[in-house]
Structure 1
């Protein structure tokens, strides 16, 4: 199996495994699905952490308003009594006024936080460091775990406007958010290796050969952004090591130069003709020009 180290914007994202006779178009489709799936899991984890801390999201027209303003405008959250977490709730006011402040109790919050931690580990970039290849099945399992945790804590379901429910039902609206800049449209996706774009209609082996034990670094890119930067000749760690070796060599040369100090040759005691001069009575002769 060929292993691809998938990078985006010079940052390692995950490892992907395939065979050399697979069309590049099929590889790209699955790689983009995994990349976008990891982003979805990350967004869902973030929203569920907020859910565990401050309860469900209130209607958009009430967000950011004070209690007095809500009362003056005669606004009402019809979901506040419908969506009560299992085992009751604890008061935990949301400082940004986005959630209703009815957080799950410690036991139910623990269910969410443990599941979030497991899901994050499933799609973590550390998986690549441990040579674990990420698959769409792993992404699906992580999403199922998060969905299951939300159903345990809120068996009646979440409000339709809550981002956790929207993510689970694939209704998320990322318009105008930073997250929308990170997602890659499959129609605009490109895969680059060795400074050239891999063509969709060609098999991977036309680029890397037929050796199934090959391991290469590929880069995801969006069409229209030009070619991604080439891989550096050496890593930052290798650069640091080379600088350290050069410094050590420089220090060694300094010590050698100090050890080879020949200034003593100018001293009287080192004069090889001193005895002869002494016999001839010329040891104290001063020469004048």
Structure 2
């Protein structure tokens, strides 16, 4: 099976395993789904971090309002009494005014933290260095792990307007957010290899060759972004090794040059006592120790 090392720009994301005889339409669709799925996992984890600290989301009409404004407008969070974390809560007011301030108890917080840690490990970029492929089912497992932890802590579920619940139900609205710029719509996804776009409805071997036991770098982007930059001829690790070797060689040359400069000191004409020995007829005298 060929390994496709997927990048977005210069950032390593994951490795996708497939066959050179696979259809490029299927490959592009799968890689795009994994790419977007990883983003979803990280978005959910980011919101769970806020949930751990400040509880569930306030209704949209209350978000960002001060306590005085809420009283003045006679608004009430009807979900605060329904969606109470298991074991109760402690009050920890959200300075951003996004969440209701009902922080889960420490034991429940630990459950959520452990779930986040495990979920992130399923899709970690470190898997690239380990040459471990990532599949769509791994992304689903990460999301299911997070969903299960939320169910344990909030057996009555989260409010329908909570971003985490919306993410799980695929009803999230990312318009106007930074996340919307990161997500790639399947219909607009493009895959590139060696500066050449991999077109749909082709066989993968048309682009990467027929060697089914190799690893190549492909880059994903959106329509309209143009061709991504080509891979550097030398990797960062190779460049560092070459610089270290060049420095070592330079130091060797310096040492040899210094040795050559001092070599004349071993010559007889450079001996300051040579003339004196000749005058006394001791120029060719050799001494033997012990005789």
TM-score of the aligned structures, taking structure 2 as reference length: 0.89
Q: Secondary structure at the match of 2:261?
A: coil
Distance (whole Å) between structure 2 residues aligned to residue 224 and residue 84 of structure 1: 46
The corresponding residue for 1:193 is 193
- Which residue is 2:251 aligned to? 251
Q: Which residue of 2 aligns with 1:161?
A: 161
Q: Distance in 1 between matches of 2:210 and 2:244?
A: 40
Contact kept, 8 Å, 1:2 with 1:20, in 2: the verdict is: yes
Tell me, yes or no, if the aligned pair for 1:268 and 1:274 is still in contact at 8 Å: no
Q: In the aligned structure 2, how far is the partner of 1:214 from the partner of 1:242? A: 25
CA deviations on 1:193-216 (whole Å, 9 max, x unpaired) are 122111212101122232221211
For the residues of structure 1 that align with 2:255 and 2:169, how far apart are their CA atoms? 70
Paired residues of 1:56 and 1:158 also in contact (CA < 8 A): yes
Total equivalences in the alignment: 279
Alpha-carbon separation, structure 2, partners of 1:65 and 1:3 = 51
Query: Match of 1:261, SS?
Result: helix
* Alignment partner, residue 217 of structure 2: 217
2:284 corresponds to: none
SS of 2:219's partner is strand
What's the secondary structure of 1:260's corresponding residue?
A: helix
Measure, in 2, the Cα distance between the counterparts of 1:119 and 1:250.
49
Secondary structure of the structure 1 residue equivalent to 2:7:
strand
Q: Which residue of 2 aligns with 1:237?
A: 237
Runs of at least 4 residues off by over 3 Å: 262-271
Q: Return the alpha-carbon distance in structure 1 between the equivalents of residues 269 and 116 of structure 2.
A: 83
In structure 2, C-alpha distance between the alignment counterparts of 1:190 and 1:28, rounded to whole Å: 7
2:6 alignment partner, SS class: strand
Report the TM-score, using the length of structure 1 for normalisation.
0.90
When the two chains are superposed, the root-mean-square deviation of aligned CA atoms in Å is 2.2
Point out the more displaced range, 60-69 or 165-174: 60-69
Q: Per-residue deviation at 1:22?
A: 0.7
Displacement of 1:2 = 0.9
SS in 2 for 1:6: strand
Mapped to 2, the partners of 1:236 and 1:269 lie a distance apart of 50
- The gaps in structure 1 that reach 5 residues or longer are 280-289
Match of 2:183 in 1: 183
Tell whether 2:122 aligns with 1:144: no
Q: Distance in 2 between matches of 1:42 and 1:195?
A: 29
